[in-house]
Amino acid sequence: MGAHMDDLDTRQAIIDACLAMNRSGLNQGTSGNVSVRSGKGALITPTALPYARMTPEDIVWVGFDGAVQGTRRPSSEWCFHLDLLRARDDLNAVVHAHPSYCTTLAIHARPIPPVHYMIAAAGGHDIRVAKYATYGTPELSAHVLAAMDGRRACLMAHHGMLAAHGTLDKAMWLATEVETLARQYAQALMLGEPPELSLDEIDRVLEKFAGYGIADD
């Protein structure tokens, strides 16, 4: 299945998510990108086009086999979007952005430890930092996949953050939660190295978190 214009709702939802990222401060300019699984590939934001000017027809379909359908070029970060969706059947939407607190920690290659139980929303005991590589490269994609192993979010060294989930709404919710955790952790560090919750406690929270978050439609 390729890029069909009967998926207008999904295309518009991607645009709405991009606009929401910038309104909330989760992202700036066109540095973020969003994708949603679509058949044997994904719909993804185009490169270098301001969100306010995007129309559903501007969203690009990229197949897992590398095929591209659309009138514009896909985001320069299409590689890790496609590789992540190809590798993870549990994920259907990917949100990438450069929020200030996540990026601050990522610049220092500092993962977010279990300083708050909401760390479990990302699927594990911490939020890892993917190693740095030039944006848009297969090397960066490989680092992202490693950091996302068993997780739904990661920071990206000297770059930003990524959140993925079963739906676009949940991926956006998680992206906001991760930036909130990053802000809380950065502020806690001003008072000294913060205490951490035990791994056993995070395991308990992970069990309780089945279905936690925003409800499906």
Catalytic residues: 77
Q: Which of 81, 141, 153 is nearest to 112 (CA)?
A: 153
- What is residue 46's DSSP assignment? B
Q: Give the separation between CA 169 and CA 175, rounded to whole angstroms.
A: 10
Burial status of residue 47 (CB atoms within 10 A of its CB: 0-12, 13-18, 19 or more): middle
DSSP state string for 53-98: G--GGGPEEEETTS-EESSSPBPTTHHHHHHHHHH-TT--EEEEE-
